């Protein structure tokens, strides 16, 4: 009896050490990601915030304190305000269609019986494509001279349209490309959300004769509320941060008609060499994105309650 107590007394101190080793393993796995996030996200964000209050010479040298002058500049500059307005219009044009098309494609992929794997793969392919490469392809498709779209219009008896070179059509053309891209990602999110609907729900609605639009709006979408909110937030964030397609297809032209917040930020910093104003604009964009994330969290928390 005394020997057993002695063995227990000897082994007990080893348990905290074993627990500490167990807790250390996840930290070691997270360490590379933490270093990457700290180096390429947190540190640049802090430097950008600091630079927004200074005049930063691109060639080096001391930073000059200017206070809120950079924020005043970006909030009163006509070109920046035009870029903000274009971003809002672009978002309005792309978000709702991409969500609607994505939901329809998810329902289609979920309902297909034969060739389901092929249909799912085909619908998801736009999301896997390199966006810069696809922007080059779309620039050729919408080219004024020799573009495929204008050639089709010519065969149909219509005149050529300067899709990317006209102030009235450039942003709309970019929005169509944005819908093509975003709808694929929305489809993937909705398709995953449809898998969370219990099979008993489908059986009950089938027994009650509830189908089609009524089932979708009264039963399926309410159950998928977290998925719908997440897909909406992702679509909003993607539309606000559009850069690649604009930079490749129009570079913000003509006359700033397709300029967005990120392309204007890039021009301020590396085109006009005004790093302070670029930092101020990027920090304002960061505040908006964080605000959208907080709204999403609050909506999801309310739905959970």
Q: What is the pTM of this model?
A: 0.83
Give dist(CA 260, CA 85) in Å, integer: 8
Count of beta carbons in the 10 Å neighbourhood of residue 275: 21
pLDDT at site 41: 82
Cα 238-241-244 angle, rounded to 5 deg: 100
Find out whether the peptide bond into 56 is cis, omega within 30 degrees of 0: no
pLDDT for residue 16: 56
Domain extent listing, the chain: 2-51, 70-304
Q: What angle do CA 74, 78, 83 make, to 5 degrees?
A: 75
At 59-118, the pLDDT tens digits run 777 888 998 999 999 999 999 999 999 999 999 999 999 999 999 988 888 887 777 777
Per residue in 24-72, pLDDT (tens digit) is 778 888 888 889 888 888 888 888 889 899 988 877 778 889 989 999 9
Tell which CATH architecture fits domain 70-304. Answer: Orthogonal Bundle (1.10)
Is the CB of residue 239 less than 8 Å from the CB of residue 176? no
Percent of the chain whose predicted confidence (pLDDT) is above 70: 90
CB 99 within 8 A of CB 185: no
């Amino acid at each position: 009896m005394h020997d057993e107590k002695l063995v227990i007394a000897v082994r007990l101190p080893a348990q905290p050490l074993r627990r500490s080793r167990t807790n250390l393993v996840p930290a070691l796995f997270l360490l590379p990601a933490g270093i990457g996030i700290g180096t390429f996200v947190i540190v640049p964000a802090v430097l950008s915030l600091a630079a927004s209050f200074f005049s930063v010479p691109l060639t080096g040298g001391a930073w000059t304190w200017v206070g809120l002058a950079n924020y005043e500049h970006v909030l009163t500059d006509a070109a920046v305000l035009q870029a903000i307005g274009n971003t809002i219009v672009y978002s309005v044009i792309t978000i709702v269609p991409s969500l609607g098309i994505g939901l329809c494609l998810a329902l289609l992929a979920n309902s297909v019986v034969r060739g389901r794997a092929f249909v799912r793969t085909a619908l998801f392919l736009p999301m896997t494509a390199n966006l810069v490469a696809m922007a080059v392809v779309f620039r050729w498709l919408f080219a004024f001279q020799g573009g495929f779209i204008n050639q089709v219009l010519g065969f149909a008896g219509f005149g050529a349209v300067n899709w990317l070179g006209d102030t009235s059509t450039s942003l709309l053309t970019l929005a169509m490309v944005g819908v093509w891209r975003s709808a694929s990602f929305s489809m993937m999110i909705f398709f995953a959300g449809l898998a969370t609907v219990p099979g008993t729900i489908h059986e009950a609605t089938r027994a009650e004769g509830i189908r089609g639009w009524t089932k979708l709006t009264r039963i399926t979408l309410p159950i998928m509320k977290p998925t719908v909110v997440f897909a909406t937030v992702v679509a909003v964030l993607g539309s606000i941060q559009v850069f690649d397609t604009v930079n490749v297809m129009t570079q913000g032209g003509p006359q700033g008609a397709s300029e967005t917040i990120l392309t204007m930020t890039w021009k301020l910093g590396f085109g006009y060499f005004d790093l302070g104003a670029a930092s101020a604009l990027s920090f304002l964009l960061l505040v908006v994105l964080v605000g959208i994330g907080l709204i999403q969290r609050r909506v999801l928390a309310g739905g959970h309650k």
